[in-house]
Amino acid sequence: MRKTIPFLRRSIQILSFLFLLYLVIRTAFPLEIKIPVDLYLRLDPFVALISALTHKGLIERMLPAFGVLLLVIILGNFFCGWFCPMGAVIDFFDRILFREKKRAKEFNELPLRRFRYGVFIFSIVAGLMAFQVMYILDPISLLTRTLIIAFYPPAIFVYNHFLPQVQGFLPKSPFIVSSIPLPVFKVNLFIFVFFIAILALGVIRKRFWCRYLCPLGTLFSIFSRLRIFKRSVTEDCTSCQKCVKECPVGAIPEKDPLIYRQQDCISCFKCLECPPGAVSFHFNRPRWKTVDGVNLSRRYVLGSLAFGGLSALMIKTNPLQSESGLKNNRLIRPPGSLLEAEFVAVCTGCGECLKVCPNNALQSTFLEAGLAGLYTPRLVSRIGYCEEFCNFCGRVCPTEAIRPLTIEEKRLIQIGVAHIDKTRCIAWDTDKICLVCNEQCSYHAIIGDDKKRPIVKEEKCTGCGICENKCPVDGESAIIVYSSGVQKKLKPEDSNNKSG
């Protein structure tokens, strides 16, 4: 049994990662999968907690995450050791590529152990002030975003490149999918470098990210102090240090392997491989007090609180973010999005909506939405347009930053208004006939004047961007969709609810 547990754990880790990968791949038109594609995000207590703080209320889709916290109180932090796909990736690269360096003197990890709680306190305070930057560090959101934006497009490129050769060998195979449209995302390189940097921290310490930076791991650590499934060691222990060396998170102190930091233990059960069999796990009564805990001084806690609050205030008063600052009139949010301030506070930047968008129209922001809006989605019409009969982005958003709408509701939402640049428009500038935007608009929001030059009827335009996307003018389009400020509902008779 002791030998089968490590194999079982490793197998579950691999299956968990592959299942997340499967959900990411299936996050696509026509979204026929019955399992919620954002399942892992819905089970993420850190996202649930911060979104509840910023949203000022519980989000129904995130309620399962609090069930995970309850299990952590019973079993300890089992999620990081068995089910976290980010932990599985880090374990793999720690073992294969980024091996911990050997040191002549002992590594002092106390400042870093204290730092993880400072980061967590910072995120809570910032969340209370509707500042969501800590979503960037959430492991589930981070890995989902990386898979979608950094790894999925290259995978599709490689698949399409080798598809003709594969079809030559297996011309009639029903398992070979035809060529897939190549998605493009603007911030892919930045996200990729950030992800590799996290993995490379394993050179300093095994599971460095999990031990000292991961906010979800810190939340689990706090609740693990109440765990009732605990490690115990008998007097048969010979202090051989095997459990100390094998523990992936350093929860067993080298000076006394008979004890352990129950708040840091991820229930990997590697210590059960004890040669004399002195280690076992049993249910016991919960105790908040733990051994070798981190002593957070009053000054350190107050400093973290102040830093979190001050940072949130600085972001809110930055010219890119404040009400008095310049506004980005090209910042067009998906239909059904919450008001801008609440949207950037609740959106995790996970990238699910980017992946499910059938036309690759949604892109992650960098600074277009200010510092607080990093990685949040925006419509870039020149890349793609908002499909008229698609409401998938609201269906896959775990925190409901994009509200789920019916097709009928979605078709009446105005996210922007198209404007014609007459100095670039072929019909207006050269008097040549060009009816592309008129022909493409299914809302009948573009009509021709007596000389067949396009005119936009703003009361019918939804800002879907198909006119801008299809405009034949090279470079910047001659018809551009600008944000309408606040999304509003058009009247059914004005929106021409029948597609043309």
Taking only the tens place, the pLDDT of each residue in 380-402 is 999 999 999 999 999 999 999 99
* Mean pLDDT score of the chain: 87
pLDDT for res 144: 96
pTM beyond 0.95: the answer is: no
Domain 340-495 has CATH 3.30.70.20: yes
Domain ranges of the chain: 4-160+179-283, 340-495
The two tokens of residue 425 are 């428009």
The list of the chain residues with pLDDT below 50 reads 324-325, 494-500
pLDDT for res 499: 44
The per-residue pLDDT for 438 is 93
Q: Tell me: the pLDDT tens digits for 204-251?
A: 888 999 999 999 999 999 999 899 999 999 988 988 989 988 898 888
Residue 130: what pLDDT? 63
pLDDT at 495: 46
pLDDT of residue 326: 52
> For residue 153, what pLDDT is reported?
95
